[in-house]
Amino acid sequence: MQKFLIILFLGLISISSLTASNPDEPKLLVEKTYGPHLLATTFVNSFPGNNNQYFNNWSEGVVLLSNGERVKIKHIRYNCLQDELLWLRPADYQTSTVLKTSVNEFIVFDAENKPCYFKKEKFRDWYMLDSTFVFFHVLVEGDISFYVHHKALNIDKNSRELTRKDFYYIKSGKQLKAIKLRRSSIFNCGFFDKEKMREIIRKNHLRVRKEEDMMKAIDLYNAAS
């Protein structure tokens, strides 16, 4: 399913279109990009010059809007610090923040030029009073999905240094749970048949402390279900 979505989105990149812009709207920037409206506000950078906050360099990508329309964007990137999609406006090369409410999914390209699929999900962590919407990087999508939330953290409040950390989650139905890259975590999360998953890991010589091995284990589990 994930591969199908990526192929579908990437196919849209080859579609030629027209661009129109309005650089004169100071507060809410509205750009007609290849048909649909892309809504954004001015980006305020709390850590200027610190690239650890960004998941990727500026890259071409595709955004699925909340109204169901898809739009090809020439320069977008994901900001791990604020969990937001940034857009470099072609009209004046100003960085702006795409309104999260207007976006459901997007694809950007990483440093190795690989497409990375992000999906907005409603989420509430243990320390939160209320739920919020988060952009998760989808590593596996199926009956059981595997997500990673890339975060940039300012751990030392006395410095301006940011640390990049990845937090992993699995989703089954409407349930979303945090998971560690270890066997005990997947066996005890309640989403898997323990014996079936144990057999998959053993037969395929997987070390689920590695992200790619966890992806393969969940992929194989979904295929066998």
pTM of the model: 0.82
31, 80 contact by CB (below 8 A) = no
How far, CA to CA in Å, does 140 sit from each of 108, 110, 171, 216, 220?
A: 16, 17, 10, 9, 10
pLDDT in the model for residue 2: 57
Quick: pLDDT tens for 92-140: 889 999 999 999 999 999 888 899 999 999 987 766 678 899 999 999 9
Higher-scoring residue by pLDDT: 30, 183? 183
- pLDDT above 80: residue 18: no
In contact, 105 and 118? CB cutoff 8 Å: yes
Domain ranges across the chain: 2-179
Q: Is the predicted pLDDT of residue 28 greater than 50, yes or no?
A: no
pLDDT digits (tens, 9 = 90+) for 72-98: 999 999 999 999 999 998 888 899 999
- Six-digit token pair at 193? 């048949």
Quick one: pLDDT band at residue 171, thresholds 50, 70, 90? very high
Q: Residue 19: is its pLDDT beyond 80?
A: no
**Of 148, 58, 67, nearest to 108 (Cα)?**
58
